[in-house]
Amino acid sequence: MRGAHRHKLIKANGIDLHLVEQGEGPLVVLCHGYPGLRYSWRHQLPALAAAGYRAVALDMRGYGRSSRPRDSDQYSFEKTSGDFLAVLDHFGEERAVVIGHDFGAQLAWHLAVHHSEQLRGVGSLCVPYDMALAGGSDIRPTELFASIADNHFFHMHYYQQPDVPESHTLGREREFLTRLFWALCADGELLDWENFPMQGTRYIDVLAEPPRALPWSWLSCEDMDYYVAEYLHAGPELAFIGGINSYRVMDRNWELFRDSAHAPVEIPTLFVGGQEDPVVKLGSPEEFDNMRRLVPDLRVDELLPGAGHFIQQEAPAALNRLLVKFLDSL
């Protein structure tokens, strides 16, 4: 069965959760971010299966073929960690390794602190532990976002507006995804948002039109067709609800779990980012030093040259080597 991936739709934590699995062996759960899908791990599934692991890539709640609740509270760490634990139950496993990217990385860090007994190890792609913009600040996230938005457009503040972001992409889903993928990749210029005012600016208009049409070296026309179809699977009104609500729930997560802020991560850990990733560039050197202080068993700590935010797709061979190296160390 190593050569074939298998789709499943399971009942998990009160929702339908779609996943793809490949391989046999110790369980590795892959959690994507925004914009992402279980498809974002298409290069990792066969590599991990070939290395002797059962790799399971989720459509996180709000994405793809999984349920898409409208209420932002349904995307809290209480809910998403429950989804992860339900996946373990489905496979009859008491423990697994979790690898997360972007918002999936934030969940992975949360699991490492609050559910370490269910983890053999944890991996974060592109989001360092305890990063201020990822909930590690001592002030309320929306207050931090608003302070940045006083100076220029800031997407994390933009997404707090009820209903507004959803309306700005209706009928422009392919254009928005194409611009967002470009802005966050190694060749993009997401941080050009500093040239735009917050008031009256739409995120889609901050994102530059790519200077090169698809295909790109890491994303084909067929890949984009698949992303667009899966985001539209539940209709245009809910196309981006998973990502939008992940921003809107950050205050609630901060309120629920602020007592454990800055807690050490005691289990084996991997961190990999892209040197050209704007999310990595938003992190200060002090935040990376802080991660290394709070994560004593950081077995892999790498920034991949020439890679942007989508390292699973932009640098799959290099990332896969590091993932297998980490998993084999456990």
Residue 23: the pLDDT is: 97
Catalytic-residue membership of 205: no
DSSP string, 169-183: TTT-HHHHHHHHHHH
pTM: 0.97
CA–CA gap between residue 59 and residue 201 (Å, rounded)? 30
Q: What does DSSP say about strands 27-31 and 54-58: parallel, antiparallel, or unpaired?
A: parallel
Q: Which residue has the higher pLDDT, 95 or 137?
A: 95
Catalytic-residue membership of 152: no
Tokens read off for 68 = 């898409």
Torsion of CA 77, 82, 85, 86, to 10 degrees: -150
Q: Average pLDDT for residues 55-69, to the nearest whole number?
A: 98
pLDDT > 90? residue 65: yes
pLDDT > 50? residue 78: yes
Residue 1: the pLDDT is: 34
Q: Average pLDDT for residues 80-101, to the nearest whole number?
A: 98
Q: Average pLDDT for residues 162-173, to the nearest whole number?
A: 95
Residue 193: the pLDDT is: 87
Query: Residue 115 CA to chain centroid, in angstroms?
Result: 19
Q: Average pLDDT for residues 66-92, to the nearest whole number?
A: 97
What does the angle CA 191 – CA 197 – CA 200 come to, to the nearest 5 degrees? 120
Inter-residue contact 217 to 307 (CB < 8 Å): no
Cβ count near 121 (within 10 Å): 23
**pLDDT tens digits, one per residue of 236-278:** 999 999 999 999 999 999 999 989 989 999 999 999 999 999 9
Percent of the chain surpassing pLDDT 70: 99
Which residue has tokens 């530059």?
A: 208
CA atoms within 13 A on the CB side of 249: 25
**pLDDT tens digits, one per residue of 180-212:** 999 999 999 877 888 999 999 999 999 999 999
Give the pLDDT band of residue 3 (cuts 50, 70, 90). low
**pLDDT tens digits, one per residue of 281-299:** 988 899 999 999 999 999 9
Residue of 244, 233, 49 whose CA lies nearest to 57: 49
pLDDT, mean over the chain: 95
Give the pLDDT band of residue 218 (cuts 50, 70, 90). very high
| Given 59, 83, 102, 277, the catalytic residue | 102
Cis peptide bond N-terminal to 35, omega within 30: yes
CATH number at 6-328: 3.40.50.1820
Residue of 273, 266, 264 whose CA lies nearest to 322: 273
Residue of 113, 66, 70 whose CA lies nearest to 86: 66
Percent of the chain surpassing pLDDT 90: 92
Q: What does DSSP say about strands 6-12 and 15-22: parallel, antiparallel, or unpaired?
A: antiparallel
| Given 5, 32, 101, 309, the catalytic residue | 309
**Backbone φ and ψ of 27, nearest 5°:** -80, 130
